[in-house]
Every structure is written in C-alpha cells, then in structure tokens.
A and B are shown apart, each in its own frame.
Chain A
Amino acid sequence: MKTLLLSSISLLLSTGIAFAQTTVQSCNRTVTFEAPPERAVSNDVNLTEMMLVLGLADRMVGYTGISGWNKLDEEMRAGVEALPELSAQYPSKEVLIGADADFFFAGWNYGMRVGGEVTPETLAPFGIEVYELTESCTHIMEKDKASIEDMYNDLLNLGRIFGVEDRATALVEGYRAELAAFASTLEPSDPLRVFVYDSGEDAPFTAGRYAMPTALIEAAGGTNIMDDFERSWATVTWEEVVERNPEVIVIVNYGEVTAEQKRDFMMSNPAFAGLDAVRNDRFVTLEYVEATPGPRNIEAIRTLADAFRPITQ
C-alpha cells in the first residue's frame, strides 16, 4: 500500500514535470493525454479528413474503414497517399495493436460498435487512447440535437490532443466567419421541409434529430422533417414521409445503389407522386463525406442552400 502510494506520487510528479497534460471530453469520458499521440489511426473518410485538415498526416500510421465501401475520392486520396490502409473495413483490435497505434479516432458506428471488440475500454489496456466522434455520442449517452458545433468540437478537441490548438481554432473561426457571411446572403423565408433519403426501399433510412444533416439543413435555411425523431441515422416509415410532405429531398450518395437510382425510385412510386419535392423534381445529392461530420460540411451547407433557393419560373 505504501509503495503504491509512493509510486503514484512519483508518477504524478514525473508527468507533471515532463509535459503539460491535456484533458478532453470524449462523449461521457474524460480522456487525459500525457503527450500528443505520435501513431494515430482514424476510421472512415470523414474522420480521416478532420485529421488531414489539421495537418496531422505525419502523426498517423494509417487509416481504416474507407476503401472497403468505395468511399475514397480523389481529393481524399491526395492527402493519404503516404499512409497505408490498415483495414479496408472496421479494424479489429489486432490491426490497431499490430500497427503500434497509440490513438484511435473513431465513433460509434464509425469504426466501433457498442459492445463490440473495439471500444475505448478494450483498447485501453494496450495503451491506445480513443477519441469519439461527437455526433456518434448519441449511441451511448444523452445528447443535444445535432449541430455544426459538434463538428467544431471535434476539430478543437483534436487540436488540443495533438497540440495544434492554434490551427484548429483558426480553422473553426474561419468556418464560423464563412457561414456567418454566407447566412447573411440568405433571403429570410419560411424554412423548407426537407427529407433526407439515405437508402432503403421497403422503409427509408434517414437522418433523425441527432444526425449531422439535421444541422446542415438548418444552417442552409430548411428543417429536417424528421428532426423530432429521437434517433441518429435510423429507419422511419414511408407513411411518415408522405404525411409530412417534404419540399426538397436530399439524397446521400454512397454504396452500390446510385443517387440517380434512389431518385428514380422516389419519382416512380405512385405513393410519392403527391409530394411537393417529387412534383417539382427538387432533389439534391450530398456525398457521404459531405453528409457526415467533417470539414466538407461547410461546402454541403452551400450546396443545400443553393437547392433551397426559391424556384424561379
């Protein structure tokens, strides 16, 4: 008992002298970093882009969970050419340990599953710290409605973790200024009713209250018709969509079924013929990287706002 006390005191002293600790909030955990990670791994395309936009490629040993689902685009490829993809899909514990990773940037359903093999708890014994995507916290705790602040929060936290706070702050301030300037050009009007169509034919998979598109749509001057749906990405019924009659439909583009095929499905089903969005053929496509939290959200808001502009006849 005495030795334990002594050793913990000496540990505290030594770390206190060596580094300024950094503590960040990751979902419901407080994570303490004794030093900035040197061998980071990020999962999925949107999270990896957050690392890249902060200039952290040289602190990474690889990325996971992108090419298995054909999500790597040209812009992205340019930033990660030097890095190996450690796993085409969700990584296993062995993959991360085998890469000598000391940090994993992932989220719930973005590289980790609740109760799965790879979680902050299962990685902790191997010295791998985890920072969780803020949008995904809704899967393990109570959370406020999705907001663009969630994305800013992730960038600022990554900035603290890696000791590049200035860069992160500058980026976020830039985004804020860009959006504020942009918002002032929007004509004030009643928000359009917008439906996010991710996939599914028997029942649509869509973005609810806690998923990023709800925030993007609001920033662009619309409302997500499912923003009272207390879920993140989830399935609703077509009946609910028909009842709420969206004026614009946002298609999330990724995977085997193309955006054009998703649009065709909605245009050809007689049940949707009466929807304002279908009658006026008002569809807009967001790529997966744009619709999930990441630096391309800003461009996504512009794309949405363009699509929401009043139809001139």
Chain B
Amino acid sequence: MRGTVPLLLIGVASLVISLSIAISVGAVPVPTATVWGVLINKLSPDIVEQTWSAGREAIVWDIRFPRALLAMMVGAGLAMVGASLQAVTRNPLADPHLLGISSGGAFGAILALLHTGLFLGLLTVPLLAFLGALGATAIVLGVSRIADATSADRLVLAGVAVSFIIMAAANVLIFLGDPRATHTVVFWMLGGLGLAQWDQLVFPLVILLACGVWLFSQAAALNAMTIGDETASTLGIPVARFRLIVFVVGALITGVMVAFSGIIGFVGLMVPHIVRMIVGGDYARVLPASALVGAIFLLWADIAARTVMRPEDMPIGIVTGLVGGVFFVWLLARRGAR
C-alpha cells in the first residue's frame, strides 16, 4: 500500500478544488469568494458579511451546489458500476450505458414526459426512469439466459442488442410526441445535471453509500472474478449468482443515477481504465479510486458543458461521449501497438 496516502490526499484536494471551480463558473459568473461566503453562512449564519444578492445566493446554494454534488455522486456511481461490471464480465468494454441499463431509464422518463403525463406528480419522471432502468436490466439478464449467454462476452452482446431495441422504442415515443416538447427529451437522451435539488439528493446518496459499501466488501471476490470463473469457483465464490447480484446492484445504482441525470455514457467505461493505470488492478483500491476519479471527471465534464456554449447548457452526455470516444480510440491504438 506504499504511496496510497499521498495519492489519496492529491485526489481529495483535486475534488475540493474542482468543486469550488464548478460552483463559481456558469451562465452567471460568481466570484469564488462569494461561493465560499455563501457556503460558510449556510453552515453557520452571519460569520461572513453578506455582500451578494439573494439571487446570487439562490444560484450558488440552490442551483449549483446540489448540481455539483449530483455530478460527484453520478460520476462516482457510474465509475464504480463500470469497474464492477468489467470485473464480473471480464470484458473491458462493460459499461452501464453499453449494457442498455441507461437506455431503459431514458425510455421510462420519455414515456412520462410525452405520453402519460405526470400522473404521480413531480416524482413521476424519476420513478419511471428508475423502473425503466431496472426493467432493462431484467430484459438483458433474461435475453442472456434465453441465448444461453453464460459467457461474459455474450452477456455484453445481449446488453448491446437490448439497448438498440429500447432506443428504437424510445425513438418511436419521441417521434409520436409533440415536437414542441421534445426538447425536454434531449435531457434524458444526452444527459444533464439540471434536475439537481437538495431534497432529492438523498435518493442517489443512500443508494450510492449502500451499494458502494457492499461493493467495497466484495473487493476480494471481484479480484477473483477478473482472473476467471474457474479460479473464482475454486475460491468458493458462487460465480453465476455473484455475477447476477453485481448486475442487480449495478442496475440499482445506474437506475437511480439515470433518474436524476439522464443518460451519461462512457464514464463507467473510461474511468476504471485510467484508475487501473494509476493504482493497479486490486479492487480494494480500484473501487474507491474509481469513485474519486469519476466524481472529479464528471464535475469537469459539467463545467465544460456549462461554459462551452454559454449561456446555454450543452448536454453533458455530449462531453462524456466526445472524451469517451477519443479515449476508446486511444485504447484501441494502445492495444494494437502491443
């Protein structure tokens, strides 16, 4: 574990600096001093003299701060899911987006927004998004069973196939929907963090903590799975069942994240690869490092999304897609060169 503590310190420091920058930039620029002033006053009122308008305070505290926290949670969550799925499928391309889980979430959200109306009030959209993600996972697992896709590669193929079918169905819903309303759908198809609100952050937080702790506790099993089913089996791991449980946990995290952020692809694919280059392949280190790097990465992706096309927000999925695509090519070239 030599070098772990300095790495951790660098990581946490980067996270705090990134957070501070993320809150100060955007459509309306806010000085860093104001950012910290608002934060300090929220923790304990009237320590700092209030020199800013109520509007600025609302922007910092009610819009950007929850948004940045959501970015961190979604980044951490998707990266951990990606890392875990890559272990149990032994496929370096495993990613919640490629496996169709995110598409299922988007389908649920689009159904609510364009066709059913908000029959359960404001919770309708996140709830249907979550159910869609879980449903997609069930379908992927079902298909892989029908296709007898016990091997890891075929599981990923089943995911891609199901993803295509769900996206086709979602496109039918968009095509039939009011063109004036389809702009709201862009959010679910290309991702974004604009729905973040304080009182809703508790849902992703609880799921992330619960599932994250469980995944950390399974680091040894994940390490064994990366070597091979037989090795894992000889170490007493019920391979098929363990893989299923990791899938369900991954769907749970992804479903909750999609319900608040739409589809954000490639974070789960990219971050674990970068992390393994820095900390090696031991999942006791890969998982927490993935969470940290995923959080920092998505904070910066959101900063880019909010500043590149100011004053409009660019969907964050475009940023992660671009970076992820380039990363993919680099990954291919690197493998080719070997």
Contact = CB atoms under 8 A, between A and B. Distances in A.
A268 B90 CA distance: 46
Nearest to B187: A202
Given A261-B121, A268-B122, A274 B180 contact: no
Interface residues of B, number: 42
B27 A256 contact: no
A257 B183 contact: no
Given A201-B184, A236-B312, A239-B27, 9 more contacts: A198-B180, A202-B184, A237-B311, A237-B313, A240-B27, A256-B118, A257-B118, A271-B63, A274-B57
Contacts of B64: 239
Interface of B is mostly: helix
Interface stretch (B100-108, B143-151, B157-165, B191-199): B191-199
B236 interface: no
A256 B114 contact: yes
Nearest to B192: A202
Contact of B117 (A233, A242, A243, A256): A256
A268 B122 CA distance: 10
A191 interface: no
Interface string B235-260: 00000000000000000000000000
15 contacts: A90-B179, A200-B184, A202-B194, A233-B180, A236-B311, A239-B26, A239-B59, A240-B311, A243-B56, A256-B118, A258-B118, A268-B122, A271-B59, A273-B62, A274-B55
Nearest to B183: A205
A89 B180 CA distance: 12
A274 B60 CA distance: 13
B59 A243 contact: yes
Contact of A69 (B122, B125, B178, B312): B178
Interface of A: 68-69, 89-90, 109, 198-203, 205, 229, 233-240, 242-243, 245, 254-258, 261, 264-265, 268-274, 288
Contacts of B56: 243
B28 A254 contact: no
B176, B184, B199: most-surrounded residue (chain A CB, <10 A): B184
Contact of A109 (B122, B179, B199): B179
Nearest to B63: A271
A270 B198 contact: yes
B27 A273 contact: no
Contact of B183 (A90, A200, A264): A200
Interface of B: 26-28, 54-59, 62-64, 113-118, 121-122, 125, 176-181, 183-184, 187, 192-195, 197-199, 262, 306, 311-313
A69 B244 CA distance: 42
A242 B55 contact: yes
Nearest to A288: B180
A235 B198 contact: no
A96 to B, nearest CB: 18
B59 A203 contact: no
Contacts of A270: 58, 62, 197-199
A109 B259 CA distance: 29
B116 A242 contact: no
B117 A258 contact: yes
B155 to A, nearest CB: 32
B115 A256 contact: yes
A256 B54 CA distance: 33
Nearest to A238: B63
A68 B64 CA distance: 38
Nearest to B262: A202
Given A235-B312, A236-B312, A270-B62, A203 B181 contact: no
Contacts of B26: 237, 239
A78 B54 CA distance: 50
Contacts of B178: 68-69, 254-256
Query: Which among A236, A258, A271 has the highest number of chain B CB atoms within 10 Å?
Result: A271
A245 B55 contact: yes
Given A69-B178, A205-B184, A261-B122, A240 B28 contact: yes
B338 to A, nearest CB: 42
Contacts of A236: 27, 311-312
B58 A273 contact: yes
Contacts of A238: 63, 194
Nearest to B114: A256
Nearest to A243: B28
Contacts of A274: 54-55, 57-58
**6 shortest interchain CB distances as A-B pairs:** A202-B194, A271-B62, A69-B178, A256-B117, A237-B27, A239-B27
Contacts of A90: 179
Contacts of B179: 89-90, 109
Contacts of B187: 200, 202-203
A202 B57 CA distance: 19
A109 B184 CA distance: 16
A239 B62 contact: no
Contacts of A109: 179-180
A255 B115 CA distance: 9
A261 B125 CA distance: 13
B63 A239 contact: yes
Contacts of B55: 242-243, 245, 274
Contacts of B63: 238-239, 242, 271
A264 B120 CA distance: 13
A255 B312 contact: no
Contacts of A254: 178, 180
